[in-house]
Homo-oligomer: A and B are copies of this chain.
Amino acid sequence: MAEEDNGVELNRLIEENDLTGIRLWLADHPPYRIADELARMDARTAIVPFRLLDKDRELEVFEELDPVHQQEILVGLRDSAFHELLEEMDPDDRARLIGEAPAKIATRALAGLSPAERKMTAALLGYPEESVGRYMTPETVILHRDLSVGRALEVVRAKSAEAETVYTLPVVADGRRFAGTVELSDLVRADDDTPLKDLVDVLVPRVRATEPAEDAARLMQEANLVALSVVDSEERFVGLLTFDDALELIEAADSEDIARQSGASPVAGHYVAASVFRLARARATWLLLLIVAATLTVNVMQAYEATLEQVTALALFVPMLTGTGGNVGSQSATAIVRALAVGEVRVRDLPGVAWKESRVGFLLGAMLACVALAIGSALVGVTIAAVVATSVICICIWAATIGSCMPLLARKAGVDPAVVSAPLVSTLVDATGLLIYFSIARMILHI
């Protein structure tokens, strides 16, 4: 819990305006910890410790921040510090910052860059948002296939200062055509006069710069790559996606999927720093759609109002049945959305998945029906309990089947399967589940 105290301490130092104390705290903590504390403060407070950082650590801390917080810090800096910071950033981080910043900051940022850095940034900004091109680094050491290991190591040594990573080295043939990669560890290990060709992994995966960045990150995870080679449409090498960006992409994608699963849009930036209004806005759209969709349940209830008036006891089990149906449907939907995200299930598995989940639904339904029968019998008698228990089985089969098919159908239609959120499934299952319940009630009770 020492970590928790640190944040409190920094806040206290800032409040007391104890500049020496702040400097000591900063010197004692690694950049990612400092960035974490800054992200929890409002922008006016965060700028105080940021300005007290050494020049070289300033950049390290800055690069650990989200684009949202980077913008806030930038706004608080004088022109010279502003431009210096941007000039020294990694081109991919800079492109993302500029791509997400308001036009005013973006223009000011681009204007201050040296021609070389501006060109590199402009090239990255030319790729579509959320594509690999936006996240890759063009600053790499490229080796020609015909080099020897000794010569290759010389190239690495000479050029490594400009490169973001030298652990996975792209190897190219003439015309910058991608020929595979070689690991720095293999170079270090090999004899100097070994031909580089012998060490190249030619089957190593590569991606196009225009492909979705999330897919590329998941590929790195699957294939255990510390860096993934990115090529253009003519198979020419253009950059590397590095593991730290992949980790960030996967965390962001998972956060997004998790938010979507609860029917909310993802909120960029730190939770603590997000305003009440921004949080509400991220959740409002789906809630509005869902409450309108829930009108269906009112309609179904209204259609069976006569039945309800005859047997009021039926109403008692409505929340339990809609709740259970929603739970079973959400479980199936959540499982399939995740299986799709990590690549375990594909669209063509739809019939198999539906059949499997309907059987899972039956098993769960049969088990829950026993409980419902017991509870129902104790509270309102065996006949109504039988209606409830039969409904539980049918609703569970239905909920599991529909909950599992919807994400696959969404993917087939080209929509992010994560929009098939638990609340969406619950709401749909609520209305159809009530239909099932009242139909069964009428059949068994002969009304």
Contact = CB atoms under 8 A, between A and B. Distances in A.
Interface of A: 4, 28-32, 36, 64, 153, 156-157, 160-161, 165-167, 184-185, 188-189, 203-205, 220-224, 226, 243-244, 246-248, 250-251, 254-255, 257-259, 261-264, 267, 270-272, 276-277, 279-280, 283-284, 286-288, 290-292, 294-295, 297-298, 301-302, 305, 308-309, 312, 315-320, 322-324, 326-328, 330-331, 333-336, 338-339, 342-346, 348-349, 352, 356-357, 359-360, 363-364, 367-368, 371-372, 375, 379, 422-423, 426-427, 430-431, 434
Stoichiometry, copies per complex: 2
Contacts of A326: 323, 326, 423, 426
A364 B258 contact: no
B335 A323 contact: no
Chain A binding surface, main DSSP class? helix
B287 A301 contact: no
Given A283-B364, A360-B283, A335 B302 contact: no
Contacts of A343: 36
Contacts of A290: 323-324, 327
A421 to B, nearest CB: 9
A185 B227 CA distance: 14
A360 B279 contact: yes
A144 to B, nearest CB: 19
A336 B258 CA distance: 11
25 contacts: A30-B223, A36-B343, A64-B224, A156-B188, A160-B189, A166-B185, A184-B188, A255-B342, A264-B335, A271-B344, A271-B345, A272-B345, A276-B359, A287-B367, A288-B367, A292-B371, A294-B324, A297-B319, A297-B320, A298-B316, A301-B317, A319-B431, A322-B322, A327-B426, A327-B427
